[in-house]
Amino acid sequence: MKLIESTPLADRFIEQWNDSNDYIIANTSGSTGKPKEIKLLKSDMIESAHATCRFFNIDGRSILVSPLSADYIAGKMMIVRAIVSDATLAMIKPTNRPDLNRFDRIDLLPVVPSQVDDILSNPTNITRIKHLLVGGGKIDESLEQRIISSGGDAWASYGMTETCSHVAVRRLGDSDSCYRALPGITFSVDSDNCLAIKSDNFSWKTLQTNDIVELFDNQSFRWLGRRDNIINSGGIKIIPEVVEQKISHLLDVPFYIVGRPDPKWGEAVMLYIESEQPIDVFTLTEKIAQSLSPYERPKEIRVVKRFERTSSNKIKRKIIGS
């Protein structure tokens, strides 16, 4: 690895990587529960890094730039990828306005959705980025369209801390919205259509998730939502993420769907919107009715000034005030 720029957290991780332990302590994001510390084998991290490098053709001639914190798995793994490939790496300050002007070429740039706006605001950024990898949160429809319109080669990632970052990627702009496995990874589903990740190359061998998917084959799937979030309203199971996708064109501010207790239906659909400006709820309700079936329509719409978020800026999906 040729490290041309670093941060204190990145330096600390490199020290841990070079110590005598065969594992690294990492923190989960906390988006689906309380954040927790887990041990990741360095051998698993190396395997994951090799898979990403093979997929994106990263080698000793490549230049990697990471505006992500090395306190989380995405930032840690950029360092490991540079180590196994002997690529040039710049770990720059994590910010929503990453300074990319000093780099003539970037072969892989991992970002979270909140960083993309500033990157797209400078058209020359896209011309210097070979692969833009967006992870760490949901990419809303309007942002995805902006990324596609920029003409760059952009990918969404699927994975988790337990799998040492992503195990599948989706090219933005592909009509099938399909995630495809990295080398050495295969998929299956359980009786609830929740994804199981399999690989003989990792110590965990099989990892069962709570992510509901449409499986195309053992190496590709379309992500639908999380089993944890399912709303059971009158015996009908509603996937909030699917509903959100259907109405995403109606809202240009953050929002989410959640189920709240209901004495008649068991649970009812509720829509939360984050906005400091007034929202015309009556007009919005009429427009939503044209996009959703009756059982998917929110029984209540509530506007709040600010959502609670994790340290990695993921929205904590919950009934506010409960």
* Domains held by the chain: number: 2
Q: Are residues 171 and 292 in the same domain?
A: no
List beta partners, residue 267.
261
pLDDT at res. 163:
95
Q: Which domain holds residue 140?
A: 2-184
**Is 217 part of any domain?**
no
Tell me: do 133 and 268 sit in the same domain: no
Residue that has been written with the tokens 């210097």 in this structure: 128
Within a domain: 199:
no
Q: Lowest-confidence range among 30-39, 184-193, 266-275?
A: 30-39
Q: How confident is the model at residue 2 (pLDDT cuts 50, 70, 90)?
A: very high
Closest to 174 measured CA to CA, from 158, 191, 154, 190: 154
The residues near 21 (Cβ < 8 Å, ≥ 6 apart) are 42
Query: What is the number of H-type helices and E-type strands within the chain?
Result: 8, 19
Instruction: Answer yes or no: do 175 and 262 share one domain.
Output: no
Task: Let me know if residue 209 belongs to a domain.
Answer: no
Residue listed under structure tokens 């990157």: 119
Q: Is the pLDDT of residue 45 over 60?
A: yes
Q: Does one domain contain both 40 and 166?
A: yes
Give pLDDT tens digits for 127-153: 999 999 999 877 888 889 999 999 989
Indicate the angle between helix axes 240-247 and 281-291, nearest 10 degrees: 110
Q: Are residues 294 and 164 in the same domain?
A: no
Q: Which CATH number belongs to the domain containing residue 244 in this structure?
A: 3.30.300.30
321 in a structural domain: no
